[in-house]
Amino acid sequence: GADLDPGNLKAPLAGSGAGAGPQSDQAPELGSIHRASVKRIEPYGVFVALAGYRKFGLVHASQVSEWIKFNREDSDEQKKAELAGVVSIGEVVNVKVVEVIEDDGSGRGQKIQCSLKLVDQKS
């Protein structure tokens, strides 16, 4: 079978559901806004797949919504439930890149920090 799309221009983004086209290994530009698909919800935040990028971004719990407030006493399950009340796995959202942290030598590469609350989700 010949590759009918060698440039990966017709293939959807792997698992992102947020668009189509090639994926970049580079980090997105600081301050840029992207469509992203929610992949995982953890007590500390939400992992998103950015359209057009291979690396996932992390939306820290403090950047999900103005209305979410956690206490030290809250369990991990309570925190995840609170976050799941705002976003759900598979949902496509708009995120802003607020920080790109260079590789610290751990071999995991760059870390992309994002924000939901700094982007209008309706437009």
Contact between 92 and 18 under an 8 Å Cβ cutoff? The reply is yes
Model pTM score: 0.78
What's residue 70's pLDDT?
85
The reported pLDDT for the residue numbered 110 is 86
Res. 53: pLDDT tops 70: yes
Task: Write down the domain spans for the chain.
Answer: 32-115
* CA distances (Å), origin 4, targets 8, 10, 28, 45, 116: 9, 9, 28, 39, 37
Does domain 32-115 fall under CATH 2.120.10.30? My reply is no
Beta strand ranges found along 65-106 (DSSP E): 92-101
Give residues with Cβ within 8 angstroms of 123, minimum separation 6: none
**CB contact at 8 A, 96 and 122:** no
pLDDT value of residue 1: 53
